Amino acid sequence: MKLKDKVCLVTGGAAGIGKATAVQFAQDGAKVVICDVNAEAGESLLLSLGEDASFYKVNVADRQDAQNWVEAVMRKYGRIDVLINNAGITRDNQLVKYKNGELVNQMPEADFDLVISINLKGVFNCTQAVVPFMIAGGGGVILNASSVVGLDGNFGQTNYVATKAGVVGMTKTWARELGRYNIRVNAVAPGFIATEMVAKMPEKVLDGMRGHTPLGRLGQPEDIAKAYAFLSSDDAAFITGAVLRVDGGIVVGT
Residue 82 to residue 7: CA distance in whole angstroms: 6
Check if 160 is active-site. Answer: yes
In a domain, 31, yes or no: yes
In a domain, 170, yes or no: yes
Map residue 187 onto helix, strand or coil.
Answer: strand
What count of Cα atoms within 13 Å lies in the side-chain half-sphere of residue 85?
35
135-171 confidence digits (pLDDT tens) = 999 999 999 999 999 999 888 999 999 999 999 999 9
> Structure pTM?
0.94
- In DSSP notation, 92-148 reads -B-SEEEETTEEEEE--HHHHHHHIIIIIHHHHHHHHHHHHHHHHHT-EEEEEE--H
In a domain, 107, yes or no: yes
**Residue range of the domain that includes 39:** 7-246
In a domain, 252, yes or no: no
The pLDDT value given to residue 204: 84
In a domain, 2, yes or no: no
In a domain, 120, yes or no: yes
The residue from 56, 98, 160, 181 that is catalytic is 160
In a domain, 251, yes or no: no
105-140 confidence digits (pLDDT tens) = 999 999 999 999 999 999 999 999 999 999 999 999
Q: Residue 16: is its pLDDT beyond 70?
A: yes
Q: How many domains, in total, are found in the chain?
A: 1
In a domain, 1, yes or no: no
The CATH number assigned to the domain holding 160 equals 3.40.50.720
